[in-house]
Chain A
Amino acid sequence: MSARDRILGRIRAAQGKAPVASPQERAVVASYIGARAPGPCPSLDWDPAVRFRERVLALSSTYEDVGAIEDAPRAVAHYLRGQALPLTAVCWPELSSLPWQEAGLVVETRAARGDDLVGITGAYCAIAETGTLMLLSGPHTPAAASLLPETHIAIMRADRLVGTMEDAWRLLRAESGAPPRAVNFVSGPSRTADIEQTLTLGAHGPYRVHVVLVR
């Protein structure tokens, strides 16, 4: 008998069940998973765009709107200059066709390295309730670009704003069925309060997160 069978056997014995699950038990579990019923949500009586912006700022990120996706590179360049940050960045392949050069930026689309200072990504969607970006891993959306650089800039379309995490899962299921290898929910720059409970931004991940919302 394997460790697996012994553990599962102990679980069933402890709960006074027969050694093998009945069809009924299987049906109960399958129907609960199949129903994917959402739990109770708090009142969501806010405008998603307003709420999202408010939460993003509360999480110590910065935020700006642009009118069209082609305007994003200029906004990014302006932000980087304003912060006295380098105008060189690693970027998601998904966004490689934007007019970066015209905006005065040197952007490389490759896997992020440990010494990259700026990472530019998109976002699968964003959650207004908490001001959270949802990033999916994939060949064109590598996870390290939002993690290794000291500055993370996320560009996302306003029509990808959803209310809650429940909505985000629903969108993911509808569009791609199962989650990809990594789903990362990002809510602001990395932080720690391990030493004397004192909040410090920039632990192992980015020191800054700048959100550019394309209206």
Chain B
Amino acid sequence: MQVTSSQFKQTARVKLTDPRLQAALRKLQGNFVKGRADRIAELDNFEDIRDAAAAVRDRALAHLDRYLEEFENNATARGAMVHWAETAADVNRIVCEIAARHGVRRIAKSKSMVTEECGLNDALEAAGYEVVETDLGEYILQLAREHPSHIVAPVVHKSRDEVSDLFAAKHGQPRKSDIAELTREARLMLRPRFLAADMGVTGANFLIAETGSTLIVTNEGNGRMVTTLPRVHVAITGIEKVVPTLEDIATLMRLLPRHGTGQSVTNYISVTTGARGRDETDGPEHFHIVLVDAGRTGLLGTDLQPMLRCIRCGACMNHCPVYQSIGGHAYGWVYPGPMGSVLTPSYAGLENALDLPHAATLCNQCGVVCPVKIPLPELLRKLREQQFERRLRPAAERMGLALWGRIAQRPALYAFAARIAAKILAWIGGREKLVHSLPFAGGWTGGRDLPAPEGRTFRDLYARRGATREESGEIK
């Protein structure tokens, strides 16, 4: 998928004034945020489970190469074919080759963010294959030729009315407005396509080293369809998704659905190992697994390695005040919200996503809710530092910060400068005591006023207070 993160500010401005999007985002907070809170209250040792989940992911990352080899050995022993893809382009090439080898024409897909990274659908269509997305949300997006705006609820930005219009136009059937009827219509359109598909393409929430299995969690049942009915199954996922054992899966499954959709368990958890056995009446005859790097190894061994613990639950975006205000599209790539603000610069280039590490208030809501304890604000700060070091920030900002840095190292000068600045701001603020606009800070004052400082600076007050306390004998 193309990266449009450089237009973050322009897009965000539009999204802020889109009433339909704003209403949709409010609903998300109600359902996913409250749902998560209610469901984690069911676990009386929630923090222990969370620590254990983070440890499971860290353990896998600490010996990533060994667990991947273990996975590969066990998957191969069960008859799966394991492929390795270094880049997004490799993924597309490998999947096209698999399709060609098995004489595939029709492909049914279940939701996979890794294939969004690669733009796999476009590549398959360009190669002449018929591809249908079967997750309801992704199906809607495919019809509308749009991208997902949330990693769990891809179509959260669209209203029922828009879906009604879209279905009426594309399905050529009477317009329906009831959500259950719309869902039924999609079911009836997609059922024959599941049955006719030669190849099913899925992601994998996890790879299990112990057994060589891939695992997907779904609610709709489409993931089960595409791993059961077509004669070829291709599972595509990042190399970081490996976990050692089935016990580790049990730990992670207590957290993923709760944080993802506010469910104690998802409808389906499907663990697939190898191809169809002899005498079985269903299941794919060929099972391929594509393990994708595409930037992941670049995070290993760096300050950003904890990001690879991510289990793609979406809780960080659901709780992020920035995401809650602008939705997912402004982030400009596959992954929105705080996790996206770390992943997009990391996978798609720091210089292509200059605003993303700043698209956060660093309020740490994301860090507090992340089920695998990824310190997201800290990682965003690291990226900001990298931008500064690589001179990717605007000259004015760099100069300003350098100047501030130099002054801050001289306490007397700093105190003097702060006093002057407070005086000037108080003077600009006038009788209203509000600053309406400031040079170099137009972005900040564009949407709000800055209260003008009153009286002394903090340092002055602090110094005075210390002195009075000392006099009264409070501090020795």
Known contacts A36-B245, A39-B247; is A194 also within 8 Å of B136 by CB?
A: yes
| Closest chain B residue to A113, Cβ basis | B195
CB distance from A37 to the nearest CB of B (A): 6
Task: Name the segment of A2-10, A71-79, A118-126 touching the other chain.
Answer: A2-10
Quick check: is B67 within 8 A (CB to CB) of the other chain? yes
List 19 extra interface pairs beyond A15-B64, A196-B159, CB under 8 A.
A3-B85, A7-B293, A33-B70, A37-B245, A112-B282, A137-B283, A139-B280, A178-B78, A179-B211, A179-B271, A181-B280, A183-B273, A187-B266, A194-B154, A197-B27, A197-B30, A197-B153, A203-B221, A204-B222
Please determine whether B268 and A204 come into contact, CB atoms closer than 8 angstroms.
no
Quick check: is A67 within 8 A (CB to CB) of the other chain? no
Please determine whether A181 and B44 come into contact, CB atoms closer than 8 angstroms.
no
CB distance from A175 to the nearest CB of B (A): 14
Give 1 or 0 for each of A1-29: 1 = CB within 8 Å of chain B CB. 01110111011101111000100011011
In angstroms, Cα B180 to Cα A198, docked, is: 9
Please determine whether A187 and B267 come into contact, CB atoms closer than 8 angstroms.
yes
In angstroms, Cα B179 to Cα A206, docked, is: 17
In angstroms, Cα B263 to Cα A59, docked, is: 10
In angstroms, Cα B246 to Cα A195, docked, is: 33
In angstroms, Cα B291 to Cα A2, docked, is: 13
Give 1 or 0 for each of B50-70: 1 = CB within 8 Å of chain A CB. 001100100100111111111
Q: What is the interface residue range for chain A against chain B?
A: 35 or more
Please determine whether A196 and B160 come into contact, CB atoms closer than 8 angstroms.
yes
Please determine whether B228 and A144 come into contact, CB atoms closer than 8 angstroms.
yes
Please determine whether B225 and A204 come into contact, CB atoms closer than 8 angstroms.
yes
Please determine whether B220 and A191 come into contact, CB atoms closer than 8 angstroms.
yes
Please determine whether A3 and B84 come into contact, CB atoms closer than 8 angstroms.
yes
Known contacts A40-B45, A166-B250, A195-B160; is A182 also within 8 Å of B140 by CB?
A: no
CB distance from A67 to the nearest CB of B (A): 29
Quick check: is B277 within 8 A (CB to CB) of the other chain? yes
8 Å CB contact of A196 from B24, B239, B253? B24
Please determine whether A39 and B220 come into contact, CB atoms closer than 8 angstroms.
no
Give 1 or 0 for each of A161-175: 1 = CB within 8 Å of chain B CB. 000111001000000
List CB contacts (< 8 Å) of A95-148 with chain B.
Answer: 110-112, 114, 130-132, 137-139, 142-144, 147
Quick check: is A48 within 8 A (CB to CB) of the other chain? no
Taking beta carbons and an 8 Å cutoff, which residues of A are in contact with B? 2-4, 6-8, 10-12, 14-17, 21, 25-26, 28-29, 32-33, 36-43, 55, 59, 110-112, 114, 130-132, 137-139, 142-144, 147, 164-166, 169, 178-198, 200, 202-206
Known contacts A32-B244, A137-B280, A184-B224; is A169 also within 8 Å of B155 by CB?
A: no
Enumerate chain B residues within 8 angstroms of A138, measured Cβ to Cβ: 277, 280
In angstroms, Cα B138 to Cα A204, docked, is: 14
Known contacts A11-B65, A40-B45, A147-B224; is A186 also within 8 Å of B219 by CB?
A: no
Known contacts A43-B44, A165-B253, A184-B270; is A14 also within 8 Å of B247 by CB?
A: no
Please determine whether B272 and A182 come into contact, CB atoms closer than 8 angstroms.
yes
8 Å CB contact of B191 from A7, A21, A204? A204
Quick check: is B229 within 8 A (CB to CB) of the other chain? yes
Q: Which of A21, A43, A185, A188 has the most CB of B within 10 A?
A: A185
**Top 9 A-B residue pairs of the complex, sorted by shortest distance between their CB atoms:** A205-B221, A203-B220, A39-B251, A190-B221, A194-B137, A139-B279, A14-B301, A14-B300, A165-B250
CB distance from B323 to the nearest CB of A (A): 15
In angstroms, Cα B136 to Cα A3, docked, is: 35
Quick check: is B117 within 8 A (CB to CB) of the other chain? no
Enumerate chain A residues within 8 angstroms of B42, measured Cβ to Cβ: 42
